[in-house]
Amino acid sequence: MIIEKPHSKRSHFERCLQRLEQDVLRMGTLVEESFRLSHQSLFARNLDAIKKINTLDKQIDLYYRQIENDCTLFMTLHSPVAQDIRILSAFMQLVRDLERIGDYAQDLSEMALQLFSYTPHECMTEIEEMSTHAQIMLAESLVGLAELDVTSGERVKRLDDTVDDGYDRVYAKLARQKNITGPIEPILILVLVIRSLERMADHATNIAQRVSYIITGHRA
């Protein structure tokens, strides 16, 4: 029988953490793709994109459950030090944010389908800018994780302010619109669209904050 030395155990645990981080980044890539497809479905009226999102959402959910289970298993079976616990708990929260962004992307694709029969609203250009900024926020937060770059959080926060401003501006236009001659449904759907985008941006901000916590040990 080979007795595993403590250093060997530590090296094995660190390799497990590295594999876990790679799984988180793979899940992040799927969520990025889902967000991109929801953007296409809304602003390019791409019906094929909607079909692809449903498949991606199943894959995202599988990663989410797997990573949560792995984190719980590592905490239970190994003897993680304080830094390891910090990383594992941050991963568990981080993938929850990713999973929610994926859910919102699927919701957006369903809203896009509802909007297909209506003429595009004059606010669509501003809403598209919100979507673009929120996607950049997600990409920045994942780059921050991959490169352990704490400064990415500052860039994400600035973009979050931009998305929030866009939400306030578009909501005001939609809420105060007068002399509506056609159906009110597309306006109601667009309110839900901008709310979803604002929440996606918030989750991207959460991810950036969790990356900062992994690196510094301090909560933003």
pLDDT at residue 2 greater than cutoff 50: no
Which pLDDT band, with edges at 50, 70 and 90, does 1 fall under?
Answer: very low
- Domain membership flag for residue 169: yes
Hey, how many other C-beta atoms are within 10 angstroms of the C-beta on 58?
9
Q: 195 burial class (0-12, 13-18, 19+ CB within 10 angstroms)?
A: middle
pLDDT of residue 105: 97
pLDDT of residue 10: 60
Tens digit of each residue's pLDDT (9 = 90 or more) over 163-208: 999 999 999 999 998 888 788 999 999 999 999 999 999 999 999 9
- Domain membership flag for residue 1: no
Q: How many domains does the chain have?
A: 1
- Domain membership flag for residue 3: no
Contact of 32 with 142, CB cutoff 8 Å: yes
pLDDT of residue 164: 97
Q: Looking at residue 24, which CATH number applies to its domain?
A: 1.20.58.220
Tens digit of each residue's pLDDT (9 = 90 or more) over 107-148: 999 999 999 999 999 999 999 999 999 999 999 999 999 998
- Domain membership flag for residue 2: no
Domain encompassing residue 83: 8-216
pLDDT of residue 83: 81
Task: With CA atoms as reference, report the closest residue to 131 among 99, 174, 101, 157.
Answer: 101
pTM, two decimals, is 0.91
